[in-house]
Structure 1
């Protein structure tokens, strides 16, 4: 049984660059993200090159990685609000490390198969759901409220730095030593993440969470109810869900598209993904400054709407130097995603009551990530039936259309988001 999130202690109000526990949390998150990015290239390459999987079979890997968000997010939110989140995260890291090691062991024994890859990806995805829900509730306990945007920006920069380096490393190592051996490195990054989490000192919590006194069936839906009554969060959720559906449809096709349509080698595939991460890396570093200049409300719809036309560069890419078009399209989406996610995550952390944060986070993940396996299957089916380029055009337009949810909302008439009460509902209830 966990306790209500307490206010960060005075030590948490020091500048983030001098904050020991935030630095450890940040470092572990960076290591874990690097492992995820490396395996995100290595496993599809194993399926496509080593095992000769088709377009739909490779897209199924993406679908299985995200399916646990649809099945487990709501129970995960309730669990996170009732147990020690750090212990849960450490267990998830160690479990993911063990699963990744199963791939090289199976290859060594001559038993590496697609069903085994599906099992590893699916079970790792289940642990990732638990880890992600817990991870998104920890930062408000480590830093002061006014440091949330800066803290989330730094964590986002790590994600994009890992995305910048990870695919290149994953592609290069897969080309040099094979995908199975490359996956060993991802297991080590999860171990590093677990060790750093053990060293983080979380502030003591004050009293048993309200969720512990509510029947489990009712507690499961409390987060959904909070979001439904909050018009801004509800529109943001619709936007993220639409974007995720089409973005992952694109992701389910990209490795096969790059390898078979654009004649890219594994190393070049990794390099293209890394170049695509530059947009997010830049906007992540400048997110706090951009948000203050544009406005915390305005930046949400601007980030979603402005880069959209550049997504069409992905299906326009050609072999050779034409691969740069693909990288620019990815960079535009990366810039949008990072700036948008930092803004909405910081806002959600500030307006959600601490005892509900795990379940509100889970409600978001259940819906917006629950759409992801459907998007992956949609992309694979569309790519198999229409061809890769036409399917990618549909996905690009669909991703851009997500901006309509926030452009056609109260956010368009606002500069900054209101944060005058913690629950964030009084001013917005109708």
Structure 2
């Protein structure tokens, strides 16, 4: 009787999570189309200059640096399901209104830029809420499986998002806005059916918002394993983004690959991510989750080291070697992300999940921005091949540091 009751509760728990998973799948698809769609709309639909297209791209990510730290406080103080649902619904309304303006030939660059910024702010808030909700919704013992399903949706939408944006824009520029609005509307509708476990919320206090943010950072700093994970993620994103920036230039200018071929190479990384998300919950280790984290981040850090050795003069050979490197990189990174997110959810109390997510995401986007700048600086000082080698050395060094620190942290706990 007890086992039947437990099984019924597990089934109900997964049904609730699957509602949420479906909602997030629609939101992820819409978000991936937006990432590529906004710059394409600026360039093709409005005919903006390259500098103005660059402004459009920047406005997608600036809100993450501004909004994310505050989002952690908001997520920890109000109902997370309603917050994420509201973000989805507001983006649906926003994109539908802009679509109407585009249909009437009334869309201007300032209006597009305002839309990009507002959508980015809502994305930043929703992404923190999404991460914080996983422990509230995943059945007991199912955190890794739940994180794997979310990563799977993200990986698949990373594959189809860019091509979907281009196809929609080719059919009709206005269609992009309405398709994205529909996807966000479906995401909001699906999450209405989701019921999360009640979580004790942090009550309003006399502490300033800055003090509340600092409290979240302090919790991470005082939890050795979380601090090690944050350090690894920051260093990895820094050198990873430098590698990606440099490789794009290297492939286009020295390997004689076209933009379509470069896209296919990066698509191999997304395919590796899909495989990693699918298989991640099946990985077990007698030494625990720390061994999986070390092995997976090791693969993600070492695989790009093949890129400086990609041969010139043979585009097919260059594509094949680069695609294999990115496939293994994507596989290792996604396995790491699934188990890293799971460990973070396990180590922090639920009432702190919002601020925990905010700390990690703020650090991630900051290091990504710095990594892109680092890649540009290296490209101007030394050859592309050497610059990629330098960035890969940074990746491997960060991995070795992470392996040592995580092993030490595991032994002391």
Q: State the TM-score, normalized to the length of structure 1.
A: 0.79
Matched, 1:247 2:243: no
Alignment of 1:213-362 (within 5 A): 213=205, 215-217=207-209, 218-249=211-242, 262-265=257-260, 271-292=264-285, 295-312=288-305, 316=310, 319=315, 322-362=318-358
Out of 206, 212, 216, the residue aligned to residue 204 of structure 2 is: 212
Pairwise CA distance, 1:138: 1.3
Pairwise CA distance, 1:81: 1.1
Pairwise CA distance, 1:186: 2.5
Higher relative contact order (Cα pairs below 8 Å, separated by 6+ residues) = 1
| Whole-angstrom distance in 2 between the partners of 1:340 and 1:46 | 34
Matched, 1:142 2:132: no
Out of 38, 61, 69, the residue aligned to residue 66 of structure 1 is: 61
1:64 and 1:373 in contact (8 A); partners too: no
**Which of 307-316 and 194-203 deviates more?**
307-316
Pairwise CA distance, 1:228: 0.8
Counterpart of 1:422 in structure 2 is none
Q: State the TM-score, normalized to the length of structure 2.
A: 0.82
1:168 and 1:274 in contact (8 A); partners too: no
Structure 1 263/377 Cα, relative in aligned 2: closer, same or farther at 3 Å?
Answer: same
1:170 and 1:270 in contact (8 A); partners too: no
Pairwise CA distance, 1:233: 1.0
Alignment of 1:20-419 (within 5 A): 20-47=15-42, 51=47, 54=50, 61-101=56-96, 104-105=99-100, 107-110=102-105, 117-174=112-169, 176-177=170-171, 181-205=175-199, 209-213=201-205, 215-217=207-209, 218-249=211-242, 262-265=257-260, 271-292=264-285, 295-312=288-305, 316=310, 319=315, 322-379=318-375, 395-409=391-405, 411-412=406-407
**Which of 392-401 and 294-303 deviates more?**
392-401
Q: Give the helix-richer structure, 1 or 2.
A: 2
Q: 1:67-108: CA deviations, max 9, x gaps?
A: 323222221111111111112111211233344446655654
2:299 and 2:329 in contact (8 A); partners too: no
Pairwise CA distance, 1:297: 0.4
1:70 and 1:370 in contact (8 A); partners too: yes
**Which of 76-85 and 88-97 deviates more?**
88-97
2:285 and 2:292 in contact (8 A); partners too: no
| Whole-angstrom distance in 2 between the partners of 1:112 and 1:389 | 43
Q: 1:395-430: CA deviations, max 9, x gaps?
A: 555444432341231x2368xx69xxxxxxxx65xx
| Whole-angstrom distance in 2 between the partners of 1:402 and 1:113 | 45
2:76 and 2:351 in contact (8 A); partners too: yes
Q: 1:116-143: CA deviations, max 9, x gaps?
A: 5544333222111211111112121222
| Whole-angstrom distance in 2 between the partners of 1:47 and 1:196 | 31
Structure 1 168/275 Cα, relative in aligned 2: closer, same or farther at 3 Å?
Answer: farther
2:159 and 2:271 in contact (8 A); partners too: yes
Count of aligned pairs between the two proteins: 402
Q: 1:287-324: CA deviations, max 9, x gaps?
A: 12224466300111221122334324557487566434
- SS across alignment from 1:212: coil
